[in-house]
Amino acid sequence: MMEKLDKNLQDLMWQARERTLRQMQTSFEVDQKTQFNDLVTTVDKDNERFIDQALKKIDPTSQIISEEGFGDQVSSLKGRVYIVDPIDGTLNFVKQKTNFAIMLACYEDGQPKLGYIMDVMNKRLYHGGPELGVWCNDTQLTAPQNLSLRDSLIDINHGILLSSKYDLQTVLKHASGLRLYGSAGIEMINVLEGRLGMYLSYLKPWDLAAGRVLAETLGLVVKSIDKPSLDVLSSNFVLVATKQVATDVFALVN
């Protein structure tokens, strides 16, 4: 069952990639959401409608949470819930035409089951879950090295970093350096691949859901900074990190 579903969802992610590339060749519209650098495009909306409709065919009794509002009003995590980010890193998508992702996660009764992060321009689908392992296309990933904070490049959302909240500038001083790529999906991929020791940001459900499945499957820590547990249905101030980095960071922020 899980393998069949996974196969269907992988196919869906590759179809969504093809649609995205096709739309990048034509003109698409860009609109502001809350402010000048919070954007949405007709590609975000088209991808979301396409993915949501496909999910309803693949898994008719499921519920869908998706960024641009074409999904369901989900208040319970009972059964299977899909969480969709049709374009993650829309600012990069518009300004850079690279460094963005399409993300999809499947949770069952609140438990992370399957995660998908498509790095569209590099043609790499990160996929898997606790029952399947984590893969980049056809290659299985092993757990990244358990690096310390000192030995790690890290990514901290710059708004949070500059606000001095939780003294994250001290955390940064203990790390090897700061990197910022501008897409939760791309940052997660870098943590999964061991190129970043931590990603720390304020993440909405669709920013976190897929990366969490894959990171936890690889034994990485996904933990709220300010709450006892993660909430699948709302935003989390969260780190995704190696075990050692998580230990080092919580020793500094507590």
CB of 228 to its own copies, least distance (A): 31
Q: Is 29 in the site for its own copies (CB under 8 A)?
A: no
Among 24, 91, 132, 160, binds its own copies (CB under 8 A): 91
Task: Give the whole-angstrom CA distance, residue 128 versus residue 140.
Answer: 9
**DSSP symbol at 148:** -
CB of 182 to its own copies, least distance (A): 5
* Buried-exposed string 201-220: b where 16+ CB fall within 10 A, e elsewhere: bbbbbbbbbbbbbbbbbbeb
Q: Is 227 in the site for its own copies (CB under 8 A)?
A: no
Q: Pick the piece of the chain touching its own copies (CB under 8 A) from 5-13, 65-73, 170-178, 216-224.
A: 170-178
Q: Is 37 in the site for its own copies (CB under 8 A)?
A: yes
Query: Which C-beta is closer to its own copies: that of 7 or that of 150?
Result: 150
Query: Which C-beta is closer to its own copies: that of 2 or that of 24?
Result: 24
CB of 95 to its own copies, least distance (A): 5
Cβ contact 183:92 at 8 Å: yes
Task: Give the whole-angstrom CA distance, residue 99 versus residue 89.
Answer: 7
Q: Is 19 in the site for its own copies (CB under 8 A)?
A: no
CB of 79 to its own copies, least distance (A): 37
User: Residue 222: which of 253, 200, 207, 206 has the closest Cα?
Assistant: 200
Q: Is 54 in the site for its own copies (CB under 8 A)?
A: no
Among 60, 69, 177, 228, binds its own copies (CB under 8 A): 177
Task: Give the whole-angstrom CA distance, residue 199 versus residue 126.
Answer: 17
Q: Within positions 119 to 158, which residues make up the interface with its own copies, using CB under 8 A?
A: 150-153, 158
**DSSP symbol at 145:** P
Other beta carbons within 10 angstroms of residue 181's beta carbon come to 18
Task: Give the whole-angstrom CA distance, residue 7 versus residue 1.
Answer: 10
User: Residue 38: which of 1, 82, 91 has the closest Cα?
Assistant: 91
CB of 38 to its own copies, least distance (A): 10
Point out which residues bind its own copies (CB under 8 A): 36-37, 91-92, 95-98, 150-153, 158, 161-162, 169, 172, 175-182, 190, 195
